[in-house]
């Protein structure tokens, strides 16, 4: 038994030592820019705590702007058509740490993890784009697309301005999404204490809220809406023409405007409230 305990203790100490031995860098405040010569890519994965600034262009390119003594630790590589952006050492502090990425219509997916930040100052014109946000990552994007899908998980934060034909949002695990979206068709699923807060408009809204999640759409106008709310979740819905409601298991719906209401399900401490 003592031998087993000793082995466990040694293993723990080795792991602890390896973590503490990881190189830690502090920037020298001498900011420089380095162009990276990379092949074409259709996906972007941002794995570590860096800022990625996206700009739309006909030609793709990647450059890194960072303190001169830490810029080598920001790695950019292409793997199976995906641009992988990460750090090879822990950058404790830097005056600048931004990867500038010019993207074109060929981009189909963006992933962000581990406090990564992905931004665009101007609208990105992409036919179809899927955004995947994990692990406290942060998105602040402007998009003009035909189809947009957003998967938000694990306390990620998103702030978006989107003009599109079809939009799908899946928000879960304490994630938070806010923004302005104008679309023809909108589908939203929220669960596990996630929050979606939108303004804008749609012709058709399909909404499902579950497990203590919330949809705040007072300023998001939908001509027609189909809403399912349950398990202590809530939905603020502004339907102007028709709405089909299923409310159960302590779900609550706060209804704005004066649509024609079809109540499909209403039981187990369900709540329906009219708001101005």
- CATH code for position 74: 2.160.20.120
Q: Identify the pLDDT of residue 13.
A: 47
The helix (run of H) or strand (run of E) holding residue 153 is none
The pLDDT of residue 16 is: 47
Tell me, yes or no, whether 271 and 135 share the same domain. Answer: yes
Give the domain-ending residue among 66, 100, 122.
122
Write down the pLDDT at residue 276. 85
What is the distance between the alpha carbons of residues 120 and 191, in angstroms, rounded to a whole number?
27
Burial 68-92 (b: 16+ CB within 10 A, else e): eebbebbebeeeeeebbbbbeeebe
The closest alpha carbon to 202, from 226, 174, 182, belongs to 182
CA atoms within 13 Å, Cβ hemisphere of 213: 29
What was the pLDDT predicted at 8? 52
Whether 160 and 90 map to the same domain: the answer is no
pLDDT along the chain (276 residues), means of 10: 52 47 86 98 98 98 98 98 98 97 97 98 97 98 98 98 99 98 99 99 99 98 99 98 98 98 95 94
46: which strand partners?
85, 112
By the 8 A CB rule, do 171 and 192 touch?
A: no
CB 32: neighbour CB atoms within 10 A? 12
The reply to whether 143 and 268 lie within a common domain is yes
Single out the residue in 69, 95, 122 at which a domain terminates.
122
pLDDT confidence of residue 28? 97
């Amino acid at each position: 038994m003592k031998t087993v305990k000793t082995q466990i203790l040694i293993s723990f100490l080795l792991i602890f030592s390896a973590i503490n031995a990881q190189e830690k860098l502090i920037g020298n405040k001498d900011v420089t820019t380095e162009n990276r010569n990379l092949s074409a890519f259709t996906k972007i994965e941002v794995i570590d705590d860096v800022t990625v600034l996206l700009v739309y262009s006909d030609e793709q390119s990647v450059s890194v702007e960072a303190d001169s003594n830490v810029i080598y630790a920001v790695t950019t590589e292409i793997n199976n058509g995906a641009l992988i952006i990460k750090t090879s050492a822990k950058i404790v502090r830097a005056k600048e740490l931004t990867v500038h990425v010019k993207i074109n219509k060929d981009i189909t997916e963006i992933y962000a993890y581990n406090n990564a930040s992905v931004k665009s100052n101007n609208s990105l014109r992409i036919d179809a784009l899927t955004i995947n946000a994990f692990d406290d990552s942060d998105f602040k994007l402007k998009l003009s697309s035909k189809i947009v899908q957003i998967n938000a998980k694990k306390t990620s934060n998103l702030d978006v301005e989107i003009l599109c034909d079809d939009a799908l949002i899946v928000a879960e695990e304490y994630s938070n999404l806010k923004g302005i979206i104008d679309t023809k068709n909108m589908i939203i699923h929220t669960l596990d204490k996630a929050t979606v807060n939108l303004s804008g408009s749609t012709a058709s809204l399909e909404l499902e809220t579950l497990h203590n999640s919330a949809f705040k759409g007072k300023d998001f106008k939908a001509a027609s809406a189909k809403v399912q709310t349950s398990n202590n979740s809530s939905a603020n819905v502004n339907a102007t023409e028709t709405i089909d409601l299923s409310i159960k298991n302590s779900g609550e719906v706060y209804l704005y405007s004066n649509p024609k209401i079809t109540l499909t399900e209403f039981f187990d401490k369900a709540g329906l409230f009219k708001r101005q």
